């Protein structure tokens, strides 16, 4: 769970208002993944910025990014497993790799982009849902 500061909430709302509530106009201009943080720089597709300093910077802790990958099952697929002792086959979600390792080592460029866009979508959805209800902003 991440708490988003009031300052970042205000900036996210300003971005949403500036795109006339058309969330598809919000795009990730760039990203960076370190040991501790996934950083996304957001901008309006209709108003591209010249530098990243002009974009809205959002920092997500790597633990939260890993939780999102796992919760959304981005690092797994549906497959069949055999029970080790009872010898029957059952359907299960098979994890390819640990979430962050999957993102760095196994995911294609499209899968990496999809993971980042999933974070953005969840962030905006959580902001809208919690702010319209008047609750504190928490990303699960």
CB 68 within 8 A of CB 118: yes
The model's pLDDT over 11-25, given as tens digits with 9 standing for 90+, comes to 888 888 888 888 889
- Structure pTM? 0.81
* Surface-to-core class of residue 103, CB atoms within 10 Å of its CB (0-12 exposed, 13-18 middle, 19+ buried): buried
C-alpha torsion angle, residues 71, 75, 77, 81 (rounded to 10): -90
pLDDT value of residue 69? 95
**Where residue 2 falls among pLDDT bands split at 50, 70, 90?**
low
pLDDT tens, 27-44? 999 999 999 999 999 999
pLDDT in tens, 66-99: 999 999 999 999 998 888 888 899 898 889 999 9
Domain spans of the chain?
2-72+113-139
Residue 105 makes CB contacts below 8 A (sequence gap 6+) with: 97
Please name the residue that has the structure tokens 């890993």: 66
pLDDT band at 137 (very low <50, low <70, confident <90, very high): very low
Residue 113: per-residue pLDDT: 96
**Average confidence (pLDDT) over 106-119:** 95
In angstroms, rounded to a whole number, what is the distance separating the alpha carbons of residues 37 and 88?
42
């Amino acid at each position: 769970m991440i708490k988003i500061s009031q300052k970042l909430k205000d900036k996210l709302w300003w971005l949403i208002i500036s795109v006339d509530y058309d969330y598809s106009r919000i795009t990730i201009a760039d990203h960076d993944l370190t040991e501790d943080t996934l950083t996304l720089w957001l901008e309006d597709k209709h108003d591209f910025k010249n530098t990243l300093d002009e974009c809205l910077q959002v920092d997500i802790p790597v633990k939260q990014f890993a939780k999102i990958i796992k919760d959304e099952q981005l690092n797994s697929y549906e497959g069949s497993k055999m029970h080790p002792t009872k010898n029957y086959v059952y359907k299960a979600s098979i994890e390819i790799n640990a979430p962050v390792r999957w993102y760095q080592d196994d995911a294609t460029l499209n899968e990496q982009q999809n993971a980042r866009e999933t974070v953005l979508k969840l962030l905006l959805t959580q902001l809208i849902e919690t702010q319209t209800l008047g609750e504190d902003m928490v990303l699960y």
